[in-house]
Structures are given as C-alpha cells and as structure tokens.
A = this chain, B = another copy of it.
Amino acid sequence: MKKIFLKDIAAELNLSKTAVSLVLNNRGDENKISKETQKRILDFAQKNNYRPNQMARGLSLGKSETIGLIVPNISDIFYARIAHHIELRAKTLGYNVVFSSSNEDAKMEKELMYSMLNRQVDGLIIASTQKNKDEILKLREANFPFVLIDRHYPDIKTNYVIVDNFGGSKNMTQHLLKNGRRNIGLVSIKSELDAILQRRLGYETALVEEGLEINAGILKELDPFAYKSEMKDAIKDMVSGLTGIDAIVFTTHYLAASGLRELKLLDVKVPSEVAIISFDELGAFDLVDPPISTSKQPVDDIGNLAVEILVNDIEKKNIKIENQSILQTQLLIRKSCGV
C-alpha cells in the first residue's frame, strides 16, 4: 500500500487538485461541485486510503490543529489525570496534543513554550512554574491563545482554570478544628506558587479566625526537591514535646504520603495522636492506613474547561475576554481525621 497524494488522485480522476482538495475538506457543496464528482473523489480517496500530509496542510493553513500542554511533571498522577481529560476533550474538538514536562524549571518551561510555538501549536495549556511572567506577557501581547491551569499569575490578566486553594485549605483546617484539634501544624513546600501560598493562607486564616496562634514550630516548609529527606526532621520536630501538635495539614498529596510514612516510622498513632489531612489525593488514599482525608480537585473539569476555553479562543479569536474559572474542591473525610 503505497502512499498516495492529492495530485495522484486528481490525476487519476482527471480532475484538478483544487476540486479534490475542496471536496476532501467538505467544501464541495459550498463550491457547487457535482454530487457525482464528489462521490467519485470521496470513494477513490477512501479506497486508496488517502491521508493528507498534515505538515503540508498545516504549513499552508498556518495552523496545526494541535494543542501544546506543559505541566511540571506528567508522571504526577494529578497532571496525568488532567492530561487525560485534556486529550479526550481535545480529540472530540479535532485537536491533538503534544505534552512536555517542565520539571518546575523556569528555563526549561520557556524552552518548551518556544519549542511548541515553533511547532506551530495553535494554543497552549500551561501549568506554569509561575516564574515566566515575561514570556506569558509576550504570549498575551502576541494574542496567542493560551490558558493557564492549576497555577496562574495572580497579577496578570489571562485565561485560567484553577481551584479555590484558599477555600479548600481553610475547609480542611476548619474540619480539624471542629473535631477538637487545637494544635494544628502545616507541612508545605518552599514555593512562590500562588496555589501553595493560598493553601497556607487558608490554613492560617482558619486558625486565626479561631483565635489560635501560628508559630514557626508548627509551620514547616520543605524544599520541593528534597522533601523526602527533610520530612523526617519536620515531623519529628512537630510531634516532639515542645510543639506537640495534634494534627497536620499537608498542602500536597505527595507531602501527605511522605509525612504519613514518617509518622508510621516514628510510631505516632494516626489519627488518635495526630490527625492528618491532605490537599489533593493519590489514587489509593482511601486504602491507606488510615484512609487519608482530602480536598479533592476536580481534574476532569479542569481539563475539559481548559480545552474548551482554549479552542474557543483559537477558533473565535475573541481573545480579548479573559476567561477565569476558580473551581471548588471537594472535602472528603476519611479516618485520618479521627472521625
């Protein structure tokens, strides 16, 4: 089965490339090409398994019908799930998706953005490092369609789909308070990410509204690339007699998983001695010992919405209106909270 081109089918059928192209792009009627001719073309193309060269098509059209997706790490189940929904939605709308992981590295992210632009993606969905303000601004200036997910730039007007990190985190903390925990610690990562700041703020706000104090001893911020090794000391420190916390809020699922490992190693009883709760979850959080409570993020909505907003921008070109969605998280209470 050898490759067949547009011109081949034109030649074979004694027609012009134009006619064939038109028909194959469903513009036959519109250009008043006889039903009969159309059928001949379609049949022939079908029978010979004609497959247009998308590079040629893209070059000519100035678009690729491809969406670029940049996430910190595709092997993080959270982003993998989002990617899946993005892919599904994109497919139904006629778009492919190329993805890349930035590894939280600003320079890499910038590279990826340009690499994808070079490849003529029609739009970009980015879970940003939040360290490439200039590049994001450039995209905006250039009127290039893009939507930020999970992480946005609070002081730039862009499309974005994020979750209510503040609210979700506050909820989690309030739940612990409601259940009698008074000495609640936070384990987070050192980060400028707004999402992370908001989660911390939600936590702090809940405490403050309850008239409780926050001090360094109960607020740990670990190096995002060394949290596993730093976790032990952090946990040890928190559960020691000095601070003696009775609950911990973790701002990400991997922190919660890692934290629980250390708690077990230290033989701290969860939840009787220390309750824990996590922002976002891993697939098996309900099976863990004890099952971990969580503020669950609506990954499907994030993915679907992002694609819809993006494709709308790509096709309608009404990029002027920023489309900003803040989705709610869902509080799932499990045994790790002690209730």
Residues of A within 8 A of B (CB): 1, 51-56, 58-59, 64, 66, 73-77, 80-81, 83-85, 87-88, 91, 96-101, 114-115, 117-120, 138, 141-142, 257, 260-261, 264, 282-290
Contact = CB atoms under 8 A, between A and B. Distances in A.
Given A74-B80, A257-B287, A282-B282, 7 more contacts: A54-B119, A76-B80, A98-B99, A261-B287, A264-B287, A283-B284, A284-B285
Contacts of A99: 83, 87, 97-99
Contact of A55 (B58, B74, B257, B260): B58
Contact of A120 (B55, B97, B115, B118): B55
A74 B52 contact: no
Nearest to A111: B91
Contacts of A264: 287
Nearest to A141: B1
A77 B74 contact: no
Contacts of A97: 98-100
Contacts of A66: 98, 119
B91 A84 contact: no
Contact of A283 (B83, B88, B91, B282): B282
Contacts of A84: 73-75, 101
A105 to B, nearest CB: 12
Contacts of A81: 75
A196 to B, nearest CB: 20
Given A115-B96, A284-B283, A1 B51 contact: no
29 contacts: A1-B138, A51-B118, A53-B120, A54-B119, A55-B59, A59-B59, A66-B98, A73-B84, A74-B83, A74-B84, A75-B77, A75-B81, A77-B77, A80-B80, A91-B100, A96-B119, A97-B100, A98-B98, A257-B283, A257-B287, A260-B287, A264-B287, A283-B283, A283-B284, A284-B285, A284-B287, A284-B288, A288-B288, A289-B290
B74 A87 contact: yes
A117 B1 CA distance: 14
A118 B52 contact: yes
